[in-house]
Amino acid sequence: MTGNKTQMSDTDVAGFLDRVVPAAKQNDAQVLDTLFRRVTGYQPRMWGTSIIGYGTYHYVYDSGREGDFLATGFSPRKAALSIYIMPGYADFTEILGRLGKHKIGKSCLYVNKLADIDTDVLAELIGAGLANLNARWPVTPT
């Protein structure tokens, strides 16, 4: 079986953050990095070319597919900040209801800018998502 296409890399996180444009998105990305470090206690690692991850986990699905992936993290994409905090195993509706302006995908939260949300609620959501993931697949610090 093949693993996940997106793999951890040795790309320098600080260097990546320094290249984020425009300046407002770069500032939001640096604030998110600080927030994720504080909430998780993990050091960031790059995944692929544009995802900053905190912690890892190894998954094995019933189908036999297995691999390693970031436990939580974000990517300062052009259209929005993509925040990877909801592995899809729990319902975080109550927390999301207090977050502010956002959209959600299958396991991703999309925020246009941090000014649109309550970052204290985001910190709570990151912690809840990480705890939920860790209960299913043990998380390893990075």
Structural domain contains residue 44: yes
In a domain, 5, yes or no: no
Q: Under a CB-based contact definition with an 8 Å cutoff, are residues 55 and 141 in contact?
A: yes
Domain, as residue range, for 127: 13-135
Residue 2 counted as domain residue: no
Closest alpha carbon to 80 in 50, 112, 55, 124: 112
pLDDT tens for the chain, residues 1 to 142: 456 778 889 999 999 999 999 999 999 999 999 999 999 999 999 999 999 999 999 988 888 888 899 999 999 999 999 999 866 667 899 999 999 999 998 778 999 999 999 999 999 999 999 999 999 899 999 9
Domain of residue 58, CATH code: 3.90.1150
The model's pTM: 0.92
